[in-house]
Amino acid sequence: MKRILVPTDFSPTAEKAFRFALDLAQRSNGSIILYHACTPVESIFVGTAETRNEYNTKSKIDTLKRLQRLRKKVAAGSPGVAVSTIVGRSPFIDKLLEFVIDHHIDLIVMGTQGCSGLKKTIIGSEAARVVERVDRPVLLVPGSYEFKELGRFVFATDFLQTDKAALATVSEMAKLYKADINLLHFQNAYNTPVDKLREKNDFDTYAHNLQRELNAYKIEAHLLEAGSVTATMETLDKKFPHDILVMVRRKKTFLEKFFVKSFTRNMSFVTKKPLLVIPE
């Protein structure tokens, strides 16, 4: 996680994400790209080509100055971290995805303002759309979050083989904070006692093998009974205190994309702790 991209809309929430990214970059000897997307005026019905060009040029210069002021304000306390500023273009998501590939970004750190119900349905969330489409890890920092030393990573797992690669990434990040990693699997509360015991044995075996493969890094395994995984996840911190939650975004078939809502995308709306989403 050496090259970190921080998109900003200059909001307090985005500033919190920037501060989080600075702390991470300082620990990993990484660098940060502070990014804001402008929407140029291109309609032929607005002014002349010359006035449109003048407006767009001025808008880009003004945005760049604003980014530089933000860098100076926030990064002053992290003198060892290289922070560059980039003005992108709309449409935000498409151009951001291109930028991530072209500039070999390792991690995206974004602020997210949780919303629910009708508001979530209508306005959506840029952070949620980035999580859904980008093929890099995304760290979401809620607007209500107050930074603290990360001591406990919780990795929500179905103990699939593909989780192992994601866990290797998590362990590297956890080392930077000397933090513990807790594997957490949600067990269906309505399963029979026999099924629960079989699932527990399989999970214990999976956790034991992971412990050995990751060179005995501090990993603990926990089962948590849940009648509804969604409801449990939304109140997880009360039942299982943690500092950062990690989830794997699964690949889906066409039919699944069409009919099934993305759980990780929905979690980006409701999370109250930093959420690290790693694509499968």
Percentage of residues of the chain with pLDDT beyond 70: 86
116 and 15, same domain (yes or no): yes
Residues 12 and 44 in one domain: yes
Residue 174, pLDDT above cutoff 80? yes
Q: How far apart are CA 61 and CA 106, in angstroms?
A: 27
pLDDT over threshold 80, residue 43 = no
Domain limits at 195? 152-279
Domain count across the chain: 2
> What's the predicted TM-score (pTM) here?
0.87
- List the CATH number of the domain containing 137: 3.40.50.620
Does residue 206 lie in a domain region?
A: yes
Q: Is residue 147 part of a domain?
A: no
Residues 161 and 118 in one domain: no
Residues 113 and 76 in one domain: yes
pLDDT, tens digit, for every residue of 197-211? 999 999 888 888 888
Same domain, 19 and 128: yes
pLDDT tens for residues 113-131?
755 443 443 334 678 788 8
pLDDT at residue 262 is higher than 80: no
